[in-house]
Amino acid sequence: MIIGLTGGNGSGKTQIAEYLKSRGFEYFSLSDEIRQEIRSRGLEITRDMLIRVGNELRERFGPGALAERILKNLELGGNYVVDSIRNPSEVDVLRRRKDFVLLAVVADPEVRFERSRKRGREQAAQTLEQFIEEERRELESDNPASQQLELTRKKADLVVTNNGTLEDLHRHLDQVLPPLMSRFDRPGWDEYFMSIAKVVATRSNCMKRKVAAIIVKDRRVISTGYNGTPRGARNCNEGGCPRCNAMVASGTALDECLCSHGEENAITQAAYYGIRLKGATLYTTFAPCLLCTKMIINSGIVEVVYNQDYPLNGTALSLLKECGVIVRRHKV
């Protein structure tokens, strides 16, 4: 999952990030993206410079630009902590991922000032009054590209109050994070298998369209196939199929096409390796044509789930239903 952190200076975001890093989370910081930009310009890193350059990047590339830079590095299946989220649009960008949650870290100004002063980072304010005045500029702004901590905080899934010791904070995190981390979405079986079929389709060598099918039994993939020229022939994209390489109009000269369909290859691959298909389900990225439909029926497949309609398959779908094969569409 992705846990985002927002909060004022000295609130304890770094301590929470360190806690999560020790639990296997990979760390990213939007402020580090700004620091990198400042260094590339040969400028000194100060708090004012961080605010100015951060606002400038949001103005130039959009209010969610810093989060966009981070998001492309966050792979599915990993655990990440993203620090220094300061604009509502950054939250919106990260929420494209269903596994994202936002933690707002809060603490009293006096507590945060003392922490900031001891840290001594990037010309920290030396008086409480200066600290509060500097922070006031970060809380709200009429400029959507500026830091807007108050609006960002309102988007939080969880607020963590951190006025005590580090031990107090860790005990609190031990209590509140496990329930939060358990709130992730797992794909249903249809989405899972159709997503696999779409990946299989990327192996297709057909010039016209990339299509694939997988055959599943007892929730286990037992055969896969993608469209392309037969075993031993030149690949379609290497000139193996004259019809596809001639870029003929869709639906014409089909009897001249040398490419086997994804469903056809999945069924014949099972036959090649002696795998029984009776009672299986076929997932295909396109609804099957009439030829593949007859193979599906005669192989004993009992259910077909397809992602996209095929414009010439009205007769095929009717035949599947007539022969008792369940047909469903599941769009991914």
**Residue corresponding to tokens 């004022």:** 8
β 212-217/26-29 pair status: unpaired
Residues near 163 by beta carbon (within 8 Å), at least 6 away in sequence: 107, 108, 111
Q: Is 264 a catalytic residue?
A: no
**Encoded tokens for 26:** 């990979």
Q: How far apart are the first and last CA of the chain?
A: 22
Q: What is the CA radius of gyration of the chain?
A: 28
The 3-state DSSP class for residue 7 equals strand
Query: Do 86 and 34 touch, CB atoms closer than 8 A?
Result: no
In DSSP notation, 236-291 reads GGGTT-HHHHTTPPTTSSGGG--PBPHHHHHHHHHHHTT---TT-EEEEEE---HH
Q: Which of 263, 264, 303, 322 is catalytic?
A: 263
The 3-state DSSP class for residue 31 equals helix
**Residue corresponding to tokens 């379609």:** 236
**Euclidean distance between CA atoms 211 and 215, whole angstroms:** 14
Going by C-alpha positions, the residue among 70, 73, 31, 28 that lies closest to residue 53 is: 31
Angle at 232 between CA 299 and CA 243, to 5 degrees: 85
**Euclidean distance between CA atoms 21 and 19, whole angstroms:** 6
CA 39 vs. chain centroid, Å, equals 30
**Euclidean distance between CA atoms 256 and 131, whole angstroms:** 77
Catalytic positions are 263
